[in-house]
Every structure is written in C-alpha cells, then in structure tokens.
Amino acid sequence: MKKSKILIATKTYPSISTKYRETVCTAGILLDDDEKPQQWIRIYPIRFRQLDFDKRYPRWSIISAEIERNEKDYREESYRINDSSIEIVRKIDTKKDWAERKSLVLPLEFKSIREIKEQGKSLGIIKPQTIKKYYSEKTDREWNLKQQAILDQGDLFEPSVEIEKIPYKFGYEFLSRDGDKHRLSISDWEIQQLYRNCKKASQGNTSEDKEKEALEKVRQKLEDEFLAKKDLYFIVGNLKNHKNTFMIIGLFYPMLAKK
C-alpha cells in the first residue's frame, strides 16, 4: 500500500453488507505531495462507525492514509484503505466563498454523466444545466429480512449494529449540459442525517407529524435554499453491479455569486 493524501469530498449513508455488516462509501480526490488535485477516488469498503474516534475523518478534511487499488472492483477509481494508517491532516474551510475547496474540486469537473461514461470513468462532479425539480418519495419503511438478520448478528467482540432505515428518498430532476435528462436520488450521508436530525428535533405529537415536519425541513433546504441561493454541483457515482446507473453521492454548494 502507498501512503497518500486524499481530500474527503463526501460520504454515503451507511449500507448493510453481508461481508462487512455495515459499510460506507467515501468519495474524494487524490492529491499529490503539494496537495494539487490528481483524480477522483472511491474508498470502499470502510466500516466508518467502527473506526477509532481519532480516525473518523470529517467531510472536507485532508487525510493521509495507506491505500491501494481495489482489484475486485472494475472501476478504476476504487481503492482500499488501511484503517489503522488514517491520519487527519487538516480541514478545508469555506473562507472566501469556498475558494480552497473550489481549487481542489473544480479542476476535476466533468461536463456531464455522459462524458464521465465516455471517458471510462465512474465518479466525478458535474454542474447541471437546469434543475427541473426537487423530489421526495416513500421507500420501504423497514429493512428486508436478510438485511435485518445481518444487523442482528453479534459476536464476542462487537455489539450488533443499528442503522436507521430512512423511509424516504430525496433527489433532483435535471438537464445536464449536453441536454440529457436525469432523475437521480441522493445517497449523501449529510442529507440523510438532516432528515434524522429534523425528525428528532420535531415537536410533533405523533410519529407521522414528526416525519411530515422533517420532510418539510429537508425540502426547505434542498429546494428553497439550495435552488435559490446556492451554486449547486452534484458529485455523482455509479453502482458497481449496474454501471450505467448513477446516484448523487454528494452535493457541492457554495453561495451563488452576488449580482
């Protein structure tokens, strides 16, 4: 494994894995020794919530860690990480309208998902030409029996894992700069956690009331605020077993320039 610097751009909400019980996919940017952006990379699998606290890297941090290509994944951006080697170097702030974040991320921008595919890639950042609408819709309220059985598994050294099932998915319908229409859901941990936090903070009398309030808070953030006030980009990635299916795995949202 090679010691490398990586900018952490986004993390997906934890998913259930037969082999690892719980995994998180991290997308970031591989940096050179001078912290110049080189390429997008995907760190997977990683059991983020089982990491030591001092190794649980926040979003928009630069970490140093030993990584190597994941040869079991055909996607060239996919890497494995040595958990014990993780060191958090520093956090990238939002000063001067996200200037440093932009300098690290936007040099690796793609025109569209079509361009990502044409270049044989599976991960990147795009700026939509037009965002048609934000949407939310119901999904399964409970994990299926197989998933729940995995969560219930325990051993002598590790307690059972709890992952809250979010019974809604959130996303955007948009046109890319090459004119293609897309309807992509968002797997960004930050957005799923927003829903959970809003539901927990709700003063609603019933669970249904709490969910309605949380859904409205998420809508206000992703529609009213982001579409009106933010210069919104999508970090997108495909699914390993469905290479033509992409999701929004992270949102990049500096303020719109003042006119």
Mean pLDDT calculated for residue range 182-203: 96
From CA 82, how far away is CA 80, in angstroms rounded?
7
CATH number of the domain residue 77 falls in: 2.40.50
Domain boundary among 108, 124, 145: 108
**Are 43 and 129 members of one domain?**
no
CB 249 within 8 A of CB 233: no
- Give the range among 3-17, 172-186, 238-252 with minimum mean pLDDT: 3-17
The DSSP result for the chain, as a single string, is -EEEEEEEEEEBPPEEETTTEEEEEEEEEEE-TT--EEEEEEEEEE-GGGS-GGG-PPTTEEEEEEEEE-TT--STTEEEE-GGG-EEEEE---HHHHHHHHHHHGGGEES-HHHHHHTT-SEEEE--SEEEEEEEEE--SS--HHHHHHHH---SSSPPP--PPPSEEEEEEEE-TTS-EEEEEB-BHHHHHHHHHHHHH---SSHHHHHHHHHHHHHIIIIIIHHHHB--EEEEEEETTEEEEEEEEEEE-PBPPP-
Residue 150 has pLDDT above 90, yes or no: no
Q: Is the per-residue pLDDT at 159 higher than 80?
A: no
Q: What is the pLDDT of residue 144?
A: 81
Domain that includes residue 79, residue range:
2-108
At residue 164, does pLDDT exceed 60? yes
67 in the same domain as 156: no
Do both 202 and 165 map to the same domain? yes
Closest by Cα among 128, 131, 94, 95 to 109: 128
Digit-coded pLDDT (tens) for 31-42 = 999 999 999 999
In the chain, what is the greatest distance between 2 CA atoms, to the nearest angstrom?
A: 61
Instruction: Quote the pLDDT of residue 155.
Output: 57
Beta carbons within 8 Å of 159's beta carbon, 6+ residues apart: none
Compare 98 and 158 and report the one with higher pLDDT: 98
Summarised one tens digit per residue, pLDDT across range 62-73 is 999 999 999 999
Say if 259 falls within a structural domain: no
Give the count of domains, the chain.
2
Same domain, 200 and 231: yes
**Per-residue model confidence as pLDDT tens digits over 128-139:** 999 999 999 999
Residue 122, pLDDT score? 97
CA–CA–CA angle 227, 91, 184 (5° rounding): 30
pLDDT band for 258, please (50, 70, 90 cuts): confident
101-121, pLDDT tens digit by residue? 999 999 999 999 999 999 999
Domain boundary pick from 73, 108, 143:
108
**169 plus 121 within the same structural domain:** yes
The pLDDT assigned to 50 comes to 80
